[in-house]
């Protein structure tokens, strides 16, 4: 875990309000798929780091890719990043997805909703490297207006299924609808997306008896487990907090779906 200046290597707009930035940073050398970084703005009026998930990692080159939606000041500033610009970044943070436990014959299902898809790209890439052959990615989008950002990138590593709110591509409905429509079989689910989607995935996984790992979001201040701002209610007493709360930034952001109250 370090905090240092990262240099913008490449910056592009992927679709309406969705941007991709590659950084040169030492953080890449120890980062794992599903972890995140805190990105500082350049403004003295906006002092909290912005938690952004890592969407892809080039370990050897020391490069990290962040794909994000512009929602406010920090992401707005980052979306205007030019090659050579420097941003103070802290990371890698959090646990990441438990990919080392995935055996090559495992049928893996990735489920990403909207801006929840980017962290799963790094997962798909890593699974390919680990020799996992059956990887399906079900990606949910708003529809025509928002574009199918990253879908082409996912095709390099997985079988891609699309779900859209307006039915303009793939299944007309949610990612869960797409799994059912295409009768996708899986041994394990890795998911990231909005809370209603994660709740539906938790239910789906419980029905089918599949283990599901979901990546959660919450307002954060420190990103390192000190402030206790970003907690999620847990089924069992948490080993660190000794109450039914886990820190999303430290014990998470990835949790076993059945362990958290969402």
Task: State in angstroms the smallest separation of the CB of 116 from other proteins.
Answer: 18
- Of 3, 169, 182, 234, the one binding other proteins (CB under 8 A) is 3
> Looking only at Cα atoms, what is the longest distance across the chain?
51
Task: State in angstroms the smallest separation of the CB of 152 from other proteins.
Answer: 33
Type and span of the H or E element at 79? helix 73-79
CA dist 226 and 240 (Å) reads 12
Kind of pairing, strands 134-141 and 107-113? parallel
> Interface with other proteins includes 241 (CB under 8 A)?
yes
Would you say 170 or 223 has its CB closer to other proteins? 223
> Interface with other proteins includes 61 (CB under 8 A)?
no
- Select from 161, 155, 179, 97 the least CA-distant residue to 130: 97
- Of 62, 143, 173, 229, the one binding other proteins (CB under 8 A) is 229
Q: Which of the 8 DSSP states describes residue 76? A: H
Would you say 2 or 206 has its CB closer to other proteins? 2
- Select from 125, 151, 148 the least CA-distant residue to 58: 125
SS3 155: helix
- Of 42, 228, 235, 261, the one binding other proteins (CB under 8 A) is 228
Other CB atoms within a 10 A radius of the CB of residue 4 amount to 12
Task: State in angstroms the smallest separation of the CB of 254 from other proteins.
Answer: 18
Cis peptide bond prior to 92, omega within 30° of 0: yes
Q: Which stretch binds other proteins (CB under 8 A): 46-54, 96-104, 137-145, 192-200?
A: 46-54
For 84: left if phi > 0, alpha if psi spans -120 to 50, otherwise beta; the answer is left
- Of 245, 246, 251, 253, the one binding other proteins (CB under 8 A) is 245
Q: Which stretch binds other proteins (CB under 8 A): 21-29, 116-124, 150-158, 217-225?
A: 217-225
In the stretch 86-125, what mask flags binding to other proteins with x, by CB under 8 A?
A: --x-x-----------------------------------
CA dist 77 and 188 (Å) reads 37
- Of 185, 227, 235, 261, the one binding other proteins (CB under 8 A) is 227
Contact 143, 118 (CB under 8 A): no
Q: Which stretch binds other proteins (CB under 8 A): 56-64, 110-118, 172-180, 219-227?
A: 219-227
Q: Which stretch binds other proteins (CB under 8 A): 39-47, 163-171, 187-195, 202-210?
A: 39-47
Q: Buried b vs exposed e over 141-166: b needs ≥16 C-beta within 10 Å?
A: beeeebbbbbbebbeebbebbbbbbe
Task: State in angstroms the smallest separation of the CB of 94 from other proteins.
Answer: 13
> Interface with other proteins includes 212 (CB under 8 A)?
no
With tokens 């307006």, the residue in question is: 166
Q: Which residues bind other proteins (CB under 8 A)?
A: 1-3, 40, 44-49, 88, 90, 218-232, 240-245, 250
């Amino acid at each position: 875990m370090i905090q240092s200046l990262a240099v913008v290597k490449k910056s592009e707009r992927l679709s309406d309000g969705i941007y991709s930035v590659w950084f040169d940073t030492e953080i890449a050398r120890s980062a794992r798929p599903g972890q995140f970084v805190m990105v500082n703005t350049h403004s003295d009026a906006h002092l909290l780091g912005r938690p952004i998930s890592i969407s892809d990692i080039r370990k050897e080159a020391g490069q990290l890719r962040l794909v994000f939606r512009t929602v406010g000041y920090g992401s707005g500033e980052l979306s205007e990043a030019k090659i050579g610009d420097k941003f103070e970044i802290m990371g890698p943070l959090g646990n990441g997805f438990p990919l080392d436990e995935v055996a090559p014959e495992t049928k893996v299902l990735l489920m990403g909703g909207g801006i929840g898809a980017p962290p799963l790209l790094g997962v798909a890439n890593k699974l390919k490297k680990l020799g996992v052959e059956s990887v399906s990615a079900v990606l949910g989008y708003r529809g025509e207006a928002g574009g199918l950002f990253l879908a082409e990138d996912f095709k390099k590593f997985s079988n891609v299924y699309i779900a859209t709110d307006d039915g303009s591509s793939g299944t007309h409905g949610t990612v869960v609808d797409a799994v059912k429509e295409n009768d996708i079989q899986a041994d394990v689910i890795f998911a990231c997306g909005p809370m209603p989607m994660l709740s539906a995935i938790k239910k789906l996984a419980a029905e089918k008896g599949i283990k599901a790992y979901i990546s959660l979001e919450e307002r954060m201040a420190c990103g390192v487990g000190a402030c206790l701002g970003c907690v999620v209610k847990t089924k069992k007493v948490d080993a660190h907090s000794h109450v039914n709360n886990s820190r999303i930034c430290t014990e998470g952001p990835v949790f076993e779906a059945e362990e958290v109250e969402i």
